[in-house]
Structure 1
């Protein structure tokens, strides 16, 4: 597997994990209005694997997610 294929797989897993976090209510779509903490973490299951998701509010209604 070359580097481009590996990066594509990683992006897919990150998107899938972020979508799962939204579906389970860990990360709300309306971040600003639900009074979510500006940073935190949660453990969810993604593809039958335990996964940790971290988030940090960056301002301007944006936040960074790490899987």
Structure 2
């Protein structure tokens, strides 16, 4: 089971790499930039003041900056 989990993870990683590569290729053709943003806590970060806290997002629908 552990080997299969490792194989599945490798397959998924290749899939994301292909999507990323294709996105960069299409952006280059269109003269656009591509930025990789680390995912952790991005839904809790205020776009205006960069304050990050779990209380900023208490539900999926509502964002309120605590700063």
TM-score of the two chains, using structure 1 as the length reference: 0.40
- Return the structure number with greater helix share: 2
Q: Which has the higher contact order (CA 8 A, sep 6+)?
A: 1
- Return the structure number with greater strand share: 1
TM-score of the two chains, using structure 2 as the length reference: 0.40
